[in-house]
Amino acid sequence: MQHLEPSDPERIGAYRLLGRLGAGGMGQVYLARSTRGRTVAVKLVRPALADHAEFRDRFRQEVLAARRVGGLWTAPVLDADTEAPVPWVATGYVAGPSLQSVVAGPHGPLPEHSVRALARGLAHALKDIHEAGLVHRDLKPSNVLITIDGPRVIDFGIARALDTGTDAGLTLTGALVGSPGFMAPEQVRGDRITSACDVFCLGSVLTYAASGRLPFGEASGGVHALMFRIAQEEPDLDGVPESLQELIGDCLHKDPAARPTPERILERVPAAVPDPWLPPSLVAQLGSHAAQLLDIEAPGSADTAIAPPPLPRDAPPPLPQPGHAVPPPPYDPYYAPDAPDAEPPPKRSATSTAALIAVALVVAVGAGGSVYAYMSGGIPRTGGDTAHPSTSLNSPSPSASSDDKGISTSPRPTPADGVPQQYVGSWSGGVPGNSGDNPRHLVIRAGRVGDTVLTLTADGPGYHCLFQAPLAATPTTPDAPLRIGPSTVGPGSTGACNPGKPSTLTLLPDGRLHRETAETGEFVDYTRAAD
């Protein structure tokens, strides 16, 4: 979640905004809280779209239809104002990462039993959506959220409001329904769209979940070439378990009439799946997300303004704007600020705490005996070891095999100073911004626990920040993640620069460096810089 920007409203309808969740073709999505304390996701339509009468008509119709979608597999529409100067819609907030971030992250593709459970959950969701008279049209990994109880589909039905034709000028503003790589042949050709379109997209999503690859390749060779392959060529299912290839191949049939319906998919996929349906390390990460959400949902006055994070002493304060919070600083990097609490943290209810402990015990059983429990402040501690606040819940245990972690098994000695040699060097990455990626340059040095071993330079519009962080603990094995931080703001920084929370560093199989904050699960991947 990102902090609100000066141009963001403080409220939308009866909902007080807490931060930014993301943006899409329709508009900006916010995390918000109702006057009764419910956490929701509010999508605010882009003003350029709000000016089109045809879009408003479609938006109004789709919101009414989407309210009819029920079931456990979608984010329900809770509220909306289709007549506001800038229309908006509020849906239930799903506390979980997207399938896109799970597969693209260190977890990689899901195991076979997880893909089967995913197929059943998404088939249930499409069944509910289609029975409400809607076609999703944009089912893709970023629109599938992963929870402990199963997948949840978001943005159902609303995407169709964007398809108002070129007469409204919407194509000029980038409002394209469908995502390259996850479109059906009839979408590519501009033919009539039916519910079978969503089934084709489901096949592409399952292929990605099982293999980490798209069935028709990437768009690196050009979007038009990708669309040609979707319309004319057979899917590439390499990496998909053989037991799933027939079902996925049927979903990816070129002829919409030949594809199975969601009901038929449910008949073909066994209902019995292991519990939990996800790998233990991913379940642990979801437990961490749940703990963070409890803090966000802390009770308080709905009329209380959100206090901006404190700025370091040497950072010039940004110019305030009436009615808005201070512009968000560039955190270290891509993370929430490590700001002191203005008051003692709220106590969690016994029910919430019990739920988190239950999640922890599930992880303990699946991980072979490493017991996790949430102690004060939501910091996980491991049995038999003194935990540090930077311990990542989804980091593998020291006894886990290198195959489980996806890291090379070649022997590398752990030096006495604590930082394995393979981490030392310069690394480059980027954080998405409005005008492209904002560069990040990371330098890791050898050093002992407590020494400054990490230096990060973060640049972007109006800021140049230098962050420094110490080594928190010596790795227990050569391939164990490095525990770093928290970071401090170094000399020479300009703009609003805030320190960052503890993080872990992990080498990925492809040679990239994965840096992840221990508390929020947000991450940035780096590549080794050329000498």
Which residues have a catalytic role annotated? 138
Cα distance between residue 283 and residue 289, in whole Å: 10
Which residue carries 């394209």 as its tokens?
176
User: Who contacts 267 (Cβ-Cβ below 8 Å, separation ≥6)?
Assistant: none
Q: Which residues contact 89 (CB under 8 A, 6 or more apart)?
A: 42, 43, 63, 66, 77, 79, 80, 82, 158
Tell me the C-alpha distance between 138 and 406, whole Å. 31
Q: Give the Cα separation of 207 and 235 in Å (integer).
A: 9
d(CA 464, CA 186): 47
Beta-strand relationship, 425-433 and 523-528: antiparallel
Strands 380-382 and 425-433: unpaired
Cross-strand partners of 33: 16, 39
Q: How far is the C-alpha of 308 from the C-alpha of 295, rounded, in Å?
A: 17
Phi/psi of residue 444, each to 5°? Answer: -115, 130
Residue 468: closest CA among 492, 446, 485, 482:
485
Crossing angle between the packed helical segments 195-211 and 112-131, to the nearest 10 degrees: 160
Q: Which H or E element spans position 353?
A: helix 350-366
Q: Which residue shows structure tokens 């399938």?
A: 99
- How many other C-beta atoms can be found within 10 angstroms of the C-beta atom of residue 23? 14
What SS3 class is residue 82? coil
d(CA 164, CA 238): 37
Angle at 465 between CA 510 and CA 525, to 5 degrees: 10
Enter the tokens of residue 482.
């490095």
Per-residue HEC secondary structure of 496-526 comes to CCCCECCEEEEECCCCCEEEEECCCCCEEEE
Residue 298, CB-side half-sphere exposure with 13 Å CA sphere: 15
Contacts of 435 (CB under 8 A, 6+ apart): 461
Rg (CA), the chain: 24
Q: Minimal CA–CA distance to 153: which of 121, 184, 176, 112?
A: 121
> Which residue's structure tokens are 């919101």?
63
Q: What residue type is 189 in one-letter code?
A: R
